Structure formats: structure tokens, C-alpha cells
Structure 1
Amino acid sequence: MRDADPGLFGPDSVTWQLHGDPMMWVAGVRALYLQALHPRAVRGVLQNSDFRADPWGRLMRTADYVGVITYGTTLQAERAAARIRGVHRRLTGTDPDTGARFAVDAPELLLWVHCAEIDSYLGVARRSGFPLTPALADAYVAEQRQAARLVGLDPADVPGDTGQLAAYFDKVRAELAATREAFEVFAFIQSPPVRTLLAPARDVLWRRAAGLAYDSLPPFAHELYGRPAPAEATVDRALRVTGAGLRAIPAAVRWQLPPARIVKAVGRLGPGTHPSAYRLRQGRTVTRPAP
């Protein structure tokens, strides 16, 4: 008998459709570039994680977490989030400029990470041709208050639409800087370590994707990194071409790649529940408000 639990978002949500799009991989890399611009956030990561030693493992664990909170059952999502909160609760970072210690799960840091991710997912999707109207974009931001709750934030303190998200970035802008750690993350993303046999693929495929992710950053991020921002129209064309190419890969093939959470969700809920931009075009979405 199938487990009919649709999870935190469900097959009719914007999140369900958007997170199944292959451009989320490019968006995830964009989020890393953006998150590195918050001095305390990036220091908390570099001082406590295996980012340097196991970049691919960390990337896959992050992808699996997003997959399980999107497509897993409610219990699976809550348990995965509880594990993350438990880890973060024990971690602290040190500000090398002042020597002050800070909690990695401080609300302002969790909020920065959340907003950088949501802005990246939404921005890359829309610019690459994923069919999101302004209303659907607002619905997605509202739905993601659920994800913010899971990491320990009060949903009421989290942007609930694109206007509030833009206002948050305007407010936080003064706290951002391209520190030594930010440039370390930048260089690492551009050329992560791989086995010798995989180096050609990294140099051709990964660097192209990483470069596109960087190009899609907002103007203020380019300014902080000290590099001229590419023409927006040029980036949009590259995103649309890349999106069209990735979306041309049969979904049955894409969904089998790790962590394969979509396959498990469809198996649990039955045919017709797979992510599809068609649902958005037909207006078949229901936004669940955060508690």
C-alpha cells in the first residue's frame, strides 16, 4: 500500500515543480558564490566543515537534503532537518578580525543562507526559461518559509514574497564583503580537486557550469568580487541555452541520478505526481502557508 503522505510541499506546489528542474544544479553553485560574501557565514563554513577535503560529498549531501525536504515524507523531512539543527547547534566560529566567537546557527546567519539559496533557485530558474509568473514566484518564496522553519527560523521573520526578498538584500548589503575566505571559496568552486582521469571533464563541463553560475550573480556581488558584471542579456541567453539542453535530457534519466528522491516520491504517491512545468502553465498549484 502506498504511503499517501505528500510531504511538506506536495505535488501541486511550486516547490515540487521547480526543484525538479535540472538548472537547480547551476543555481546551487550560484548560491555558494553568494553565500561566501557574508563574512561570518563563510567563516563558519570553512572553520567547521569538510568543504575542502570532500567538496563533491558535501555538494551531494546538500542536494540530498533539498531532495528529502522537497520530495520525502513529512517525517523524513523533519528528521533530516533535526539532524542538521543538531549539528549546527554544536558549532561555533571565530572572527579572525576581532577574535569574537559566534554561533553558526545564529538567526541572522541562517537567514542569509536561506535567502541566498532561494534567490539563486528562483533567479536561475526564471532567467533560464522556467515558466514562473510573478505570482508563482511569490508563491515559491512563501512556500520556502517551510524550509526556513526546518533550519530553526521563525517563518514570520523570513521573506514571504519576492518584494520582501529584494528588501532583505537591500538591508543586508552593508554587511557583505569579499573577504579572503570568500575568494578562497571562489577559487575552489572554479577548480575543485578531482582525480586525474576526471580533470578534462572538470575543465570542460564543470568550469562552464561554474562560470555560468557566477555570471548569473546580482550586480552587487560582481562589484564585491571586483570583476565587471557581464551583460545581462548575454547571461540570459547562456542560461536559456543551457536550460533547454538540460531539459532535453529525458526526465526518466535525470531523475535516476543521485539522490533520486523524485523517483521515490512518485513511487510513493503514484503516477501523475512527477514534477512538471506543465502544472504551472495550467495553474495546477496550491501554496501551503508556513505554520
Structure 2
Amino acid sequence: MTFDLTTLRRDDYGFFGPGSPSWKVWAAPTALIGFQRAVTLEHFEPFLTAAVADSQGIYNSPAKRLDHTLSYFLLVAVGDGRTATQAAEHLMRIHAPMTGIEPVSGKRYSANSPDTQLWIHVTGWHSVLKAYEMFGPGKLSPAEEQRYWAECAIAAELQTCRPEEVPRSREEVRAYFARMRPKLCVTEAAVRGMHYLLWTPRANGGVEIAVGSRLLAMASIATLPKWMRELGRFDRPRFVDRAITIPARLVAKVAAARNLRLLTAAGPYLVPMTGQILRQHVTAGEPALRDTVTPARARELYGTQGSRPLTAVQH
């Protein structure tokens, strides 16, 4: 992705604005833990696993691929309407050619399909909130959580998700995962992908990503249910989870107390684009319009598709 991130908030407050739970959760240091959790558990969905395995992006350039993916989520959460819309359309173009045959079912997959995009979206928003609750300030208030899931549904408008299928509460998220569980499985490609993201080899990602992935994995594995850990072949004793919780909370608390300086300082070495977005988020002045905008309005103003919703490419 190539955007002028020095003007992250030139036009408006984006879709959620100051004081929103999305700004609070997605800009917290714990988002890195949540993001590693999300990209790991995404591999339980066989069609997404096939897309990742066939594209080889996480293996050829793991640091760049992970940085760009996290940057997209963060731009949608804290960027202005123009930047978020352009990022979404760019991502759709990147995903468009990612089609093929899923080897378990023999069915065709498409990275832009509504089902795959919904899985990516829900696992991302759920995982970042889970990490925030476990290692950050804790649970949101009932009103904040209600608003968080409403904002999750708004963000889904930038993808090909069917609006009626997007969960809008914690209960609906649980119901969604319950519906998805019979469809989940692991293959050799899935296990390889999960383990690669949890413990990225130095030869592929460099020292920074190799060390960073292992440190994050100590915390992110603790957030996953035991059946997923066993299925993914990365389970460990629960006492390890308990041992890592206190130091992980302490690190997150220190980073938050320093206004994200630790994370933005580490950005150039771990996730440079994400670090730049966070830096701009913290230092940005007032936008031209001191108000939020809807995805539909942002598409009308700045998108190449006008006010039309994004649609999946048919194959």
C-alpha cells in the first residue's frame, strides 16, 4: 500500500472519531498481540488457508505482508474516510487475482469472497478486543462494547461481507464462531502457516521479526481456547499462560503510559507502516471536518466505485 500517511486525518475523523472504543482498542499496544492471534487462527478456515498457501506472501516477505495487513485494519479504525476508502479499494485489487482450488473440498476459493472476508474481519476485531481485555485495561463498559461491535459492522462495509451476517454483539460473535466450528480444520498448509506466524524463522523475516513473533506468541497463544491450540499443534501447559500474563500486562501498561512511544519507536524495525500510522494518529491535529463520515459517503467522495458497496469479483 502506498498512501500519504502524513495526512492521515486531513478531511474528517473517519468512521468512529475521538472517544470511540475502536480508537481506544485498535491504537492500544495490545493490538499487536491481538493481530498475531487473528492471523494465526485465520488458518483454521480452509479456503483462507489455501489462498495464503498459494500466494506465498507470508513466506516470501513476512514482515511486509504482516505490516500491510495490520496497517489496513488500523487505517480503517483511526484514519479519515479518504485514506480508509482508498486502502480498502487497494486491498480488493490485491485480493482479486487470489483464486484457486481448495484441496480439502475441491471447491474454488476467492480471497474476496464474502465468507472469507467475514472470517478475516470477525477474527481481527474479536482478537484485538480479546488481547485488550486480557493484557490491557480490561473489559469495556457495556455501552462501549455495544458501540465497539456496532463499529465493527460499520468497518465491514468496506469489505465484501454481507451486512446481515456481520455480528453486532459478543453473543452474536460467539454464535458466529459456533456456526463456523464444524467448517474449520487443519491441513499441513494450515499448521505450517500458524507455526510460521507464531515463530517466524530468522532466515525469512530477519532478527527483528524472528524475535518479535516469539515474544508476541508467548502472549497470543494464551488467548486461544484449548481446542484450537490442540488442533493447531501449539498447545502448552496452562501454568505457562499464567506466568506470561503479568509481564505482558506490565509491558502493555508501560507502552500505553508513554503514549505509544515504545510502539512507534519500534515501528521502523518491526512494522514500519503501522508505526507511522500510530505516530500520525497520536500527533495529528484537527481535520477539516470535525465530524465522522459513513463508509457510503466516503466512497461517494473519494472512492473509484462512487457510492456503490464493494462487491466480490466473481469466478
Shorter chain as denominator, the TM-score bin is 0.7 to 0.9
Stretch moving more, 260-269 or 88-97: 260-269
Query: Where do residues 79-94 of structure 1 align in structure 2 (5 Å cutoff)?
Result: 79-94=86-101
- Say whether 1:261 aligns with 2:277: yes
Q: Which segments of structure 1 move beyond 6 Å, counting only runs of 4 or more?
A: 286-291
Residue 251 (structure 2) aligns with: 245
CA root-mean-square deviation: 3.0
Secondary structure of the residue aligned to 1:241 is helix
| Stretches of structure 1 lacking an aligned partner (at least 5 in a row) | 272-285
Residue 151 (structure 2) aligns with: 143
Residue 183 (structure 1) aligns with: 191
What is the CA–CA distance in structure 2 between the aligned matches of 1:3 and 1:110, rounded to whole Å?
A: 28
Distance 1:241-1:287 versus aligned 2 partners, 3 A rule: farther
Q: Tell me if structure 2 keeps the 8 A contact 1:143–1:289.
A: no
Residue 277 (structure 1) aligns with: none
Query: Where do residues 150-169 of structure 1 align in structure 2 (5 Å cutoff)?
Result: 150-169=158-177
What is the CA–CA distance in structure 2 between the aligned matches of 1:42 and 1:197, rounded to whole Å?
A: 20
Query: Where do residues 37-186 of structure 1 align in structure 2 (5 Å cutoff)?
Result: 37-131=44-138, 132-186=140-194
Stretch moving more, 121-130 or 82-91: 82-91
CA shift at 1:248, angstroms?
Answer: 0.8
TM-score, normalised relative to structure 2: 0.77
Identity %: 25
CA shift at 1:164, angstroms?
Answer: 0.3
Letter of the aligned partner of 1:245 in structure 2? V
| Stretches of structure 2 lacking an aligned partner (at least 5 in a row) | 1-8, 297-315
Q: Deviations over 1:42-89 (max 9, x none)?
A: 111221241101001111111221222122210110111011122223
What is the CA–CA distance in structure 2 between the aligned matches of 1:196 and 1:87, rounded to whole Å?
A: 22
Stretch moving more, 40-49 or 21-30: 40-49
CA shift at 1:127, angstroms?
Answer: 1.2
Distance 1:203-1:80 versus aligned 2 partners, 3 A rule: closer
Residue 22 (structure 2) aligns with: 15
**How many residues are matched?**
275
Letter of the aligned partner of 1:264 in structure 2? Q
Q: Tell me if structure 1 keeps the 8 A contact 2:75–2:87.
A: yes
What is the CA–CA distance in structure 2 between the aligned matches of 1:141 and 1:91, rounded to whole Å?
A: 29
- Say whether 1:235 aligns with 2:241: yes
CA shift at 1:34, angstroms?
Answer: 0.6
Residue 13 (structure 2) aligns with: 6
Distance 1:69-1:290 versus aligned 2 partners, 3 A rule: closer
Secondary structure of the residue aligned to 2:202 is coil
TM-score, normalised relative to structure 1: 0.82
What is the CA–CA distance in structure 2 between the aligned matches of 1:205 and 1:263, rounded to whole Å?
A: 20
Q: Deviations over 1:156-192 (max 9, x none)?
A: 3200011100010011100011211111112212332
Q: Tell me if structure 2 keeps the 8 A contact 1:14–1:287.
A: no
What is the CA–CA distance in structure 2 between the aligned matches of 1:117 and 1:262, rounded to whole Å?
A: 18
CA shift at 1:138, angstroms?
Answer: 3.0
Q: Deviations over 1:227-258 (max 9, x none)?
A: 55643x86366234313213313225234533
Stretch moving more, 166-175 or 212-221: 212-221
